[in-house]
Chains A and B, each alone.
Chain A
């Protein structure tokens, strides 16, 4: 393994910008300060000051809302994401490897892929009821296609000579898929998973809007119905922070697992 020494030339400021890194923190801080100011000066009930929202967060969320709503949402999110990732990767690799399978499945998958994922919600309620099965199915439907499409493209991007070489060594088709195609496709699969991550969060909230008992989507709508605006804002903030945390965690994991891909 080679190590690279960072130099000014090798690592310019991000995107060629000459602005130092801390500048990117200015806008969020300014926006939050303006929110606080607008809330205090405006005195509007529709825009409570940030400090009031945070106070509400500290008062209500630990542990009640975390246990009652956040954890169930995270469990659904994780179950839906993992299931969709497994289905998307296996099916995507198979389609990318076997041309016949592609011919059979493509029209159906293209049709399903074009469906807006939220449109599946009313259908899922009828077919699967109001429990977790319905909610996880809705998340899977939203997440599976970006993973599947990227896995397919990843499998197709494998250089034919690698496959030929593996075949010459007598590897079976399944072994070739597992030991040659999958590693080559991993960077693209990972890109698909990264795209799917925020979709999974969106679909988690959407799935909890109907017939809900708990979850962040349920919390959001039930407080909307009671005009509890600070509580609504706490959920919005939590969802924003959660989205960013998940993305950062995924990036960190990707860096550890796929660091080799950058030098491949």
Chain B
């Protein structure tokens, strides 16, 4: 290869470096544009995961509820929860579904997130998340968990924090229990092979574990808000998106409330299960037995605050956060 003269090479290197940095900055600053077209219709890209916890997107599209509210939705299904935040921050999606605790963590780190509409709501009779032990386990109640290993799907998220609150409130030192993070599909096998003694599972993994002889011993979410309802998944976007599109935020909020009412109506259970089965690739048998989540119809600070307080209690938020500051205003 012919040697490149030094000056020319230095210039080329500088040019390449500038282009690289420029690309990084441009990517990082991906802006939000208005989503309402000239015809008044709203075009939204929504990122979600294929599970019941964030399934309103599928129901709203399948039932034509978004379209009836003037919103044309493109669904962007991603593999896991971390990708949801990435989809919003990179501008690939206008809104996505995630946990309020994740939003609060992001905001405390300076990320411009704001909550727009509720996802799943906890109720005492439908807690959503259960601590399950395998068949033949000597663990009978929460007090027996001391000295054992518990699997959760992600550390420092609500399942983990709620479990720590449950231990503490039940008189067990949370430090005496080891928590490990494992993907939901791996938790049951980890219990069967004795690597963990219990796992925090959600539907349909809870039902699968029970079918294999597992037992539910507690629902840690009972310890989040004193057994009172709270919303533990939400639809969120960037503050820039919400600021530039207040009408879209208001419209989406109304549409999502209607989706939730439709989904919560027992008369629509079969249609809902069919939508879910198609979206998640579950067999009809699994989809027909899994209990259905209850979706929230409104997003108030009271439905969020207890989770943020739990984050402060266990040190994953550095200082108290007022839930009201995390909810987009929008105009109706």
Interface residues of A (CB under 8 A from B): 16-19, 23, 26-27, 30-31, 34-35, 38, 42, 44-47, 122, 125-126, 129-130, 210-213, 222, 224-229
Contact = CB atoms under 8 A, between A and B. Distances in A.
B312 to A, nearest CB: 14
6 A-B pairs with least C-beta separation: A227-B106, A46-B28, A44-B28, A45-B110, A129-B195, A34-B21
Contact of A213 (B89, B178, B190): B178
A35 B21 contact: yes
A16 B4 CA distance: 11
Interface of B: 3, 6, 9-10, 13-14, 17-18, 20-21, 24-25, 28-29, 82, 85, 89, 102, 105-106, 109-112, 151, 154-157, 178, 180-183, 186, 189-190, 193, 195-196, 316
B28 to A, nearest CB: 4
A27 B13 contact: yes
Contacts of A27: 13, 17
Contacts of B316: 226
B25 A47 contact: yes
Nearest to A224: B82
B29 A44 contact: yes
Contacts of B111: 45, 227
28 contacts: A18-B3, A18-B6, A26-B13, A27-B17, A30-B14, A31-B17, A34-B17, A34-B18, A38-B24, A38-B25, A42-B25, A42-B28, A44-B28, A45-B110, A125-B186, A130-B195, A211-B151, A211-B180, A211-B181, A211-B190, A213-B178, A222-B155, A224-B82, A225-B82, A225-B157, A226-B156, A227-B85, A228-B109
A126 B111 CA distance: 37
A233 to B, nearest CB: 12
Contacts of B112: 45
Given A17-B3, A42-B25, A212-B181, A229 B109 contact: yes
Contacts of B9: 19
Contacts of A34: 17-18, 21
Nearest to A128: B195
A3 B230 CA distance: 79
Contacts of B17: 27, 30-31, 34
